[in-house]
Amino acid sequence: MTFSIAFAAGVTPTKWTRTWAERRPDQPLEVFRTTPDEQSAVLHDGRAQVSIVRLPVDEHDLSLIALYREIPVVVAAKDHFIADADSLLVADLADEHLLQDPDAVPEWRDVATEVRDGIRRPLAAVRDMDETMELVAAGVGIVIVPHSIARLHSRKDLVSRPVEDVAESQVSLAWLAAETTEDIEEFIGIVRGRTKASSRVDSVPAGGEKVKKEKKTDKAKAAAKALRVAAAKAKPAVARKTQSAPGRTRSTANLKLGKRTGR
């Protein structure tokens, strides 16, 4: 049976799929990119066993493991004023026209002049991000997207800069919680950096927290510790004699005390 991995635009799963191919050469692998609307749908309809998603997604019935976070950048035409900055604050973009749903970037929505004054014009109909970037290059407006999205759609007539006070985006591994197969466990281990010889986990419940198997050596150590503690409690208390070590010099404080008391 083919193991299918879906991934969001901008994500590069190559290092993980390469490791899978090395460890499981007998297991066919299918990898395909998803749109934002189908990141979790591909799990529910069986097109993929795991999906590398960019939050937010519908988390119903899913287990998720956080992989990494991405900084947001603003993308504009190459002659835009952002080209002269190293980074920006969202307030610097308050007078711009955002070619996205304002709710997708709430930090911008809350300071945007066109939203506040009710003069925001409708968005042009576009089919995908490539067409949106065409509008950006033409000077129609800006977009604020994760850095990898800007890199994926980079062009000579565009410029991008980090926006410091917009929340980073979270990239996570998702799968159906009720269908945590051995193949899925294997892939989780790969993205987590576990070696082939690393111990498997008992289960990965919703939320991505893993429960590791208790090692036999841990049980043996705990039992030995309990025996030592019990033996120590059974021994009678022995008073310790206080004796100066031969040749040890008394402290300066004791010498001074002796002089004052006449000793």
Do 100 and 43 reside in the same domain of the chain? no
Spatial distance between the Cα atoms of 186 and 30, rounded to a whole number of angstroms: 15
What is the reported pLDDT for 176? 96
> HEC states along 120-145?
CCCCCCCCCHHHHHHHHHCCCCEEEE
Tally Cβ neighbours within 10 Å of residue 106: 11
Distances (CA, A) of 2 to 23, 25, 35, 52, 154: 15, 12, 21, 17, 33
Please say whether the beta carbons of 62 and 179 come within 8 A. Answer: no
- H helix or E strand, kind and range, residue 21: helix 14-23
pTM: 0.71
Residue 255, domain member (yes or no): no
What is the reported pLDDT for 240? 44
Residue 51's domain spans which residues? Answer: 3-69+169-212
| CATH classification at residue 138 | 3.40.190.10
Q: Mind listing the pLDDT tens digit for each residue in 89-99?
A: 999 999 999 99
Spatial distance between the Cα atoms of 188 and 190, rounded to a whole number of angstroms: 5
End-to-end CA distance of the chain: 92
Among the candidates 193, 212, 231, a domain finishes at 212
What is the reported pLDDT for 29? 93
Q: Which residues of the chain have pLDDT under 50?
A: 199-216, 238-263
Do 42 and 97 reside in the same domain of the chain? no
Do 126 and 180 reside in the same domain of the chain? no
For residue 180 the two structure tokens come to: 């945590």
Q: Report which residue type is found at 66.
A: A
Residue 181, domain member (yes or no): yes
Residue 248, domain member (yes or no): no
Do 35 and 93 reside in the same domain of the chain? no
Q: Which residues contact 24 (CB under 8 A, 6 or more apart)?
A: 3, 186
Q: Mind listing the pLDDT tens digit for each residue in 113-170?
A: 999 999 999 998 898 999 999 999 999 999 999 999 999 999 999 999 999 999 999 9
Q: What is the total count of domains within the chain?
A: 2
The chain-wide mean pLDDT, for the chain, equals 83
What is the reported pLDDT for 196? 72
Spatial distance between the Cα atoms of 48 and 184, rounded to a whole number of angstroms: 11
Residue 230, domain member (yes or no): no
Residue 253, domain member (yes or no): no
